[in-house]
Amino acid sequence: MDASPIGVMDSGIGGLSVVEQVNALMPSEDIIYYADTLNFPYGSKSREEVQELACQAADWLLDRGAKIIVVACNTASSAALATLRNRFSAPFVGMVPAIKPASAATRSGKVGVIATKGTVQGQVLADLVAQFATGVDVFTRECPLLAELVEQGEVKSSRVHTLLHQYLDPLIAQGIDYLVLGCTHYSFLRPAIEEIVGPKVSVVDAALPVARQVQRVLTERDLLSARQKPGSLTCHATGDSRGFLEMARRLCPGLCPKGATV
C-alpha cells in the first residue's frame, strides 16, 4: 500500500499549489491529480452539485489506487468533506481558510479573507471564525472571476491587478494586517497580492499546513512510500487534459516537468 499514489482533487489548476508543497515534503510519493475542468468553477455551484462532483472525483481517484485523497479546493472541502468521509473509507484531508493562525498572529485585531462565493457563504468559514477569531474582526470578500483568470494563466495582467484592487482596497482600508487566501487558485496570484497590500499585511494560505497533515496521516497509517527515487505526477482533467498540462507547466515550471503526464 505504501507504493500507492496520493490522490489530489480540485476544480481546476489551483490545487497544484498544494501539490507543490506535498511534493516538497514527500518527494518520493507518486501523485495523481484530478482537475474537474469540465465543471469549473465550483464556487458558484450549489452545495449539492459540489458534493456530487466531489464524490465522482473521489471515485475516480480511488479506482486508480489512491491511498489518501486531498481535497485541494476550499469550496469542495466546505461543501463535501463530511459527505466524502461518510461515503468512503479512505482518509481525506481538506482545505480550510487559515483563520486560526491569522487570528492568533494579528496585531491590529483585523483579518481579511478573500475567497469564492461558496467558501465565503459556507458554514465552515463561519464555524472557523466563531471558534478561532474571538475578539478579532474578520472581513470577507467574495472574488468572482479571480479563479477563472488564473485558470486561463492570467496572473500578472492589468485585468488581474484591476480586480485585485477592487477586492483588496476595501480590506486594506479596514486596517487588516493579515490576509487569508481562501482559494487555492489565489496562491498563484500571491506576488501580485503582496505588491498591492504592502509589507504591513501578511498573506497566508493553507497549502503547507495541509501538506504537513497529509504527511502526518500517512505516517500514522504506515503508508509513506519507502522508495528513494523521486515520485511521478500524473494529471487528469475532465476537460482538455493537454491544455491543462500546458497551463500547469506555465504556472508550476518546477513541478510539472518532473515526469508529469496526462
Span 114-123, pLDDT tens digits: 999 989 998 9
Q: Which CATH class is domain 6-95+207-251?
A: alpha beta
- Amino acid 254: pLDDT: 82
Long-range contacts of 218-224 (CB under 8 A, 24+ apart): 218/6, 218/26, 218/67, 218/68, 221/91, 222/2, 223/1, 223/2, 223/4, 223/67, 223/68, 224/2, 224/26, 224/29
Interhelix angle 123-132/74-87, rounded to 10 degrees, is 100
Task: Report percent pLDDT > 70 for the chain.
Answer: 97
Are the CB atoms for 218 and 67 separated by under 8 Å?
Answer: yes
Convert the pLDDT of each residue in 1-35 to its tens digit: 588 999 999 999 999 999 999 999 999 999 999 99
**How distant, in Å, are the alpha carbons of 85, 95, 140 from that of 89?**
7, 19, 34
Per cent of the chain over pLDDT 90 is 89
pLDDT of amino acid 260: 55
Q: Do 6-95+207-251 and 99-204 agree at the fold level?
A: yes
How many CB atoms within 10 Å of residue 91? Answer: 17
Question: Partners of 51 in the beta sheet?
Answer: none
pLDDT of res. 92: 98
Q: Which CATH architecture has domain 99-204?
A: 3-Layer(aba) Sandwich (3.40)
Residue 193 near residue 141 (C-beta atoms within 8 A):
no
Catalytic center residues:
73, 183
Residue spans of the domains in the chain: they are 6-95+207-251, 99-204
Instruction: Kindly state the cell numbers that stand for 188.
Output: 498563484
Distances in Å between the alpha carbon of 57 and those of 76, 141, 208?
11, 28, 23
Whether residue 227 has pLDDT greater than 90 = no
Residue identified by cell 482518509 is 91
Looking at every residue in the chain, the average pLDDT score rounds to 94
- Confidence tier at 261 by pLDDT (50, 70, 90): low
Confidence of residue 84 (pLDDT cuts 50, 70, 90): very high
pLDDT of 102 > 80? The answer is: yes
Residue 253, preceding bond cis, omega within 30 degrees?
Answer: no
Q: Is the pLDDT of residue 195 over 70?
A: yes
C-alpha cell belonging to residue 21: 508543497
**Is the per-residue pLDDT at 262 higher than 60?**
no
Report whether 251 contacts 13 (CB < 8 A): yes
pLDDT per residue over 229-260, tens digit each? 999 999 999 999 888 988 998 899 888 644 55
For 35-45, give one letter per residue: b (16+ CB within 10 A) or e. bbbebbbbbeb
Indicate the pTM of the whole model.
0.92
